[in-house]
Amino acid sequence: MSDTLITVIAIALAAVLMFVFPLMTISDRNDDVAQLTVETATTEFVDKIRSTGKITKGNYDKFVETISSTGNTYNVEMQVDVKDTNLGKKVSQAANDKIGENVSYSIYTSQIEEALESGTGTYYCKEGDIVSASVKNTNQTISQQLKNFFYSVTGNDSYTIAAQHAGVVTANGK
Amino acid sequence: MKIQGLAIIAIIIILPMSIILNAYSQNQIKTLELQTQYDSKLNNATYDAIKAFQLNMSNSSTSDLTNSKMRDLNASVNTFYNSLSNHFNMYGYRKRCYKKLCTCSSLYFI
């Protein structure tokens, strides 16, 4: 009886050590690689917008393609804080081109995507606008599934791969 | 005792130690990662502020005047806080919140 119990425990431990642990480690490393890829792609995408002053359909599609190549699905959110040309406050020397002085209004993902789908397929920014993009995974990665199975610490809606980058646009797109 | 039993006892002793050490090293990695992220966000916000100052100076015909310089500097500081708020996904907060955030992050690095 005692021998049988020990054999069963040994088999269970062997299964955990030989299959579950390597799988968890590899899926964790896979998530790390995906995280790095997404971070790099997001930074490149935002920096390109900042230096050229425009969001083109080609760039956006390339960005989505790059992050999708990690094998996960993502929710991409973009925001452009457009510098309003109306002065934010009354000043003696009126100038509407100062960066950091004017009020701004925001343009969000759906509006940008609408601009990309119509006309020239380009959304133009101007000097002083602030562009930001954030990416979060929407599917559950293998690592998340295993963690949920063993520890149940992460909820179904939580994400493990996320990247965010923002910055001031330094060129006029038009 | 059979060798099988000894092996199980050894695994039962080693496994928790290995798990704890792994969790500890993962925590260290996460801390370093967070520090790098804060560094990068502050660097980017500073870059944006300097770039805004540079652009404001080059676009202004009165940039040599003292009050114009002060104005450019204030605009540059505003850009720093705006950029920082964008990096931390804190749109629409007041400037004093960002100042508090900066104090917290500088304390974090001390």
DSSP string, A63-101: HHHHHHTTSS-EEEEEEEEEEPSS-SS--SS--S--TTT
Q: Which residue of chain B has the CA closest to A172? A: B55
The pLDDT, as a whole number, for residue B70 is: 84
Distance, in angstroms, between B83 CA and closest chain A CA?
A: 6
Q: Let me know if residue B65 belongs to a domain.
A: yes
Which of A144, A148, A157, A165 is CA-nearest to residue A67? A165
* C-alpha–C-alpha distance, residues A164 and B99, integer Å: 21
Residue B77 and residue A100: Cβ atoms within 8 Å?
A: yes
Q: Let me know if residue A31 belongs to a domain.
A: yes
Residue A101 and residue B48: Cβ atoms within 8 Å?
A: no
| Mean of the per-residue pLDDT values of chain B | 82
Band of the pLDDT at A154, cuts 50, 70, 90? low
| Mean of the per-residue pLDDT values of chain A | 86
Range A2-31 average pLDDT: 87
Quote the domain boundaries for residue B64.
Answer: 33-109
Return the higher-pLDDT residue of A15 and A124. Answer: A124
Q: Let me know if residue A92 belongs to a domain.
A: yes
> Which pTM does this prediction carry?
0.81
Residue A98 and residue B47: Cβ atoms within 8 Å?
A: no
Range A80-85 average pLDDT: 85
Q: Let me know if residue A174 belongs to a domain.
A: no
Band of the pLDDT at A13, cuts 50, 70, 90? confident
Q: Let me know if residue B72 belongs to a domain.
A: yes
Q: Let me know if residue B90 belongs to a domain.
A: yes
Residue B60 and residue A95: Cβ atoms within 8 Å?
A: yes
A65 in B contact zone (CB under 8 Å) = no
DSSP secondary structure code for residue A108 in this structure: E
Question: What is the C-alpha R_g of chain A?
Answer: 24
A35 in B contact zone (CB under 8 Å) = no
Band of the pLDDT at A35, cuts 50, 70, 90? very high
Q: Let me know if residue B11 belongs to a domain.
A: no
The pLDDT, as a whole number, for residue A91 is: 59
Residue A41 has pLDDT above 70, yes or no: yes
Contacts of B60 in chain A (CB under 8 A): 95, 98
Decide if the complex's ipTM is over 0.95. no
Q: Let me know if residue B18 belongs to a domain.
A: no
The pLDDT, as a whole number, for residue B83 is: 87
| Residue A70 CA neighbour count, 13 Å, CB half | 31
Report how many domains make up chain A: 1
Quote the domain boundaries for residue A27.
Answer: 2-168
The pLDDT, as a whole number, for residue B82 is: 85
Residue B75 and residue A13: Cβ atoms within 8 Å?
A: no
Report how many domains make up chain B: 1
Question: pLDDT tens-digit profile of B28-73?
Answer: 999 999 999 899 999 999 999 999 888 888 877 776 777 778 888 8
Inter-residue contact A58 to A122 (CB < 8 Å): no
Residue A98 and residue B71: Cβ atoms within 8 Å?
A: yes
Which of A123, A129, A94 is CA-nearest to residue A111? A123
Inter-residue contact A82 to A107 (CB < 8 Å): yes
* C-alpha–C-alpha distance, residues A43 and A35, integer Å: 12
Residue A48 has pLDDT above 90, yes or no: yes
Distance, in angstroms, between A6 CA and closest chain B CA?
A: 7
Q: Let me know if residue B62 belongs to a domain.
A: yes
